[in-house]
Chains A and B, each alone.
Chain A
Amino acid sequence: MEIKDRILVIEDDKSIRNFLRAILEANHYDVMMANTGSEAYSLITSQCPDLVILDLGLPDMDGMKILRNVREWSAMPIVVVSARSHEKDKVAALDMGADDYITKPFGTSELLARIRTAIRHTRTAAATPGLGQSGTFVSGNFTIDYDKHRVFVDGKDANLTQNEFKIVALLGKYAGRVMTYDYIMKEIWGPNMKNDNQILRVNMANIRRKIEKNPAQPQYIFTEAGVGYRMVEAD
């Protein structure tokens, strides 16, 4: 018998719980449900689910509080689902440690893809402690060679500058996940960089001119307007 991944859904709306259970069980996940924040706490601590789907608008507490508390002791993947669509809410949840953020209304295929990505990432992070980057990242004709510090497109060196490579390498490390502008800025330029991401945007524009066929229709690095960048998943 196969071992199913267990997903805890924290959501107070009955019809959303209903259809989430239906699609998750149809896709071979074990599903647990929690209506309230306190119920969610006891299930998270007692059952240790493989992934948590967290609605930010709960009747008894703000979902962000659950996110903050769980992140104090666990790196379990948490996908935030919320009706708050302003990009600053997304940024706040991602910076707080959410693995992903999906805005209601969302499509089921999109949700399933995000769940798969989040679970896989936690697995690979656990398998390679320290997150030392080595080897290669390959997606189609796009290759990041971490050892040589080079990026190849169609077998040709893209000639990225050092900072450009650092940005691409960072996105490659978390491929499939949105990295917020702030996070990338801090990782590449350090915490003392002034809080203005213009330099990152210009760098990204130059990277795209080197690796994408058409920078306005990217194949490898996507923009989440107002939030950050996301690299395509590895093959």
Chain B
Amino acid sequence: MKNIKIKNSIWKNCLVTIAIFAIAAGFCFLLQRVASTDTHVPLIFVLAVLFISRFTQGYVYGIAASLLAVIGVNFVFTYPYFKFDFTITGYPITFLAMLAVAISVSALTTQIKKQEQIKLEIEKEKMRGNLLRAVSHDIRTPLTSIVGSASAVIDNYEVLPDDKKLELTKDIRDEAQWLIRIVENLLSVTRINGSSANISTNLEVVEEIAGSAVQKFLKRFPDVKVDVNIPGEVLLVPMDGILIEQVIVNLLENSVLHGETDRIVMNITNNEREVIFAVEDDGRGIRPDVLPVMFEGGLHTEESEEPDSRRNMGIGLSVCMSIVKAHKGDMKAENRKEGGASVKFSLPLKKEQIYGN
């Protein structure tokens, strides 16, 4: 599998090299006809080498291309045409200079590409940092409440009335359930392994994943009414089913916890390129100032009417976003005209994965 990948990339790089050289050569022939001078030829080939270094991977192609260019230009475009002659006055120096320029250009572009890579890594690291900060905040609050409530019951067992004890114990359970939700999201992030956002996908039937997500959700919120509409045909979509299930559960829970609704509709539709999951509710909707940043993670509602509230959407949604992104899909949120929120995400599919009707 890996071998095939490497072979493919060699083919691709060689093709790019050949294509750019062909364009350069064609251009030189054209200029030779029109202007009947040779002085521009080395410059055009330096340009070609620059492009080759830019559009291939590693140093190898750039350097090989510059050597090839030096030899090729001497052979084809300098007098005597179609003969090697490295003894023309001045030319050896010209070509040495060209070789030097080509090599340093290809080294430079490789360097730039490396720096881009590093920048991307830093960006990812930053996201991870944001997530960690959000998580430790989200974990501390319920932990404090659990320890506090439990101590309250233990230390005041004789004096507290029974209903107060029951209330405190219920709080402990609720807070612990909140922690479970956070941990499940964190586990999802660890499934998107490492930096390359590689996920192991299997073909999953869309309605199965949606169905098991809804079932999971209803275990926690049995009083909420969820309607799922699915396309008539059986859709098999490449995905990590557990992760997509997590995304759907998060979206449903957000509708209840933030939208404060008890009616949710999930519409699943598809076109030739993708399947689209839309979770819509008739709740409070999303605050307009939150809308543009809600997927960024670590979102805290510090300036809102609920200071230090852990009822923020940060972790859940940023996890959703990274899961969907890892599937090469997209995610959007908006407020519906009729009121309530609508969050949509799409997953790419291949045409042959649509079955019958």
Shortest CB-to-CB span from B220 to chain A, Å, is 10
Contact across chains for A205 and B211 when beta carbons are under 8 A apart: no
Helix, strand, loop or mixed for chain A's interface? mixed
Contact across chains for A223 and B242 when beta carbons are under 8 A apart = no
* Alpha-carbon gap, A103 to B212, bound state (A): 16
Q: Is the CB of B187 within 8 A of A85?
A: yes
Segment 191-235 of B: residues with Cβ below 8 Å from A: 203-205, 207-212, 214-215, 219, 226-230, 234
Chain B: residues with CB nearer than 8 A to chain A?
A: 176, 180, 187, 203-205, 207-212, 214-215, 219, 226-230, 234, 236, 241-242, 245, 266, 268, 355
* Nearest CB of B to A193, in Å: 16
B212 touches A224 (CB 8 A): yes
B230 contacts across to A, CB distance below 8 A: 214-216
Decide: A218 and B211 in contact? CB cutoff 8 A. Answer: yes
Q: Among A85, A202, A222, which residue has its beta carbon within 8 angstroms of that of B234? A: A202
13 A/B residue pairs, CB under 8 Å, sorted by A: A105-B180, A110-B219, A201-B203, A204-B205, A204-B208, A215-B211, A216-B207, A216-B210, A216-B230, A217-B214, A217-B228, A218-B211, A225-B212
B268 touches A216 (CB 8 A): yes
Q: Decide if A225 touches B209 in the complex (CB within 8 Å).
A: yes
Enumerate chain A interface residues (CB-CB to B < 8 A): 85, 87, 105, 107, 110, 198, 201-202, 204-206, 208-209, 214-218, 222-226
Instruction: Give B180's nearest chain A residue, CB to CB.
Output: A105
Top 5 A-B pairs, shortest CB-CB distance: A216-B228, A205-B234, A216-B207, A223-B208, A225-B241
Q: Are A223 and B212 in contact (CB under 8 A)?
A: yes
Complex formed: what's the CA distance from A232 to B266 in Å? 24
Q: Tell me the minimal C-beta distance from B129 to chain A in angstroms.
A: 25
Q: From residue A180, how far is it (CB to closest CB) to chain B in Å?
A: 14
Could you tell me if A222 and B203 are in contact, using CB atoms closer than 8 angstroms? no
Cβ distance B352 to chain A, nearest Cβ, rounded Å:
12
- Given contacts A201-B236, A225-B245, A216 and B203 within 8 Å (CB-CB): no
The residues of B that contact A202 with a CB separation of less than 8 Å are: 205, 234, 236, 355
Asked whether, in the complex, the Cβ of A222 is within 8 Å of the Cβ of B212, the reply is yes
- Contact between chains at A198 and B236 (CB < 8 Å): yes
Please state if A222 and B187 are interface contacts (CB–CB under 8 Å): no
Q: Which residues of B contact A107 (CB under 8 A)?
A: 219
Distance between B275 CB and nearest chain A CB, rounded to angstroms: 13
Q: Return chain B residues, CB-CB under 8 Å to A201.
A: 203-205, 208, 236
Question: Of A85, A205, A222, A226, which is within 8 A of B205 by CB?
Answer: A205
User: Which residue on A lies nearest to B183, using beta carbons?
Assistant: A105
CA distance A136 to B214 in the complex (A): 30
Contacts of A218 in B (CB 8 A): 211
Other than A217-B228, A222-B215, give 14 A-B pairs with Cβ distance below 8 A: A198-B203, A201-B204, A204-B205, A215-B211, A216-B207, A216-B211, A216-B230, A216-B268, A223-B208, A223-B212, A225-B209, A225-B242, A225-B245, A226-B242
Q: Is A225 a contact of B236 with CB atoms below 8 Å?
A: no
Q: In angstroms, how far is the closest chain B Cβ from the Cβ of A102?
A: 13
Q: In the docked arrangement, what's the CA distance between A222 and B227, Å?
A: 16
Asked if A208 and B241 sit within 8 Å, CB to CB, the answer is no
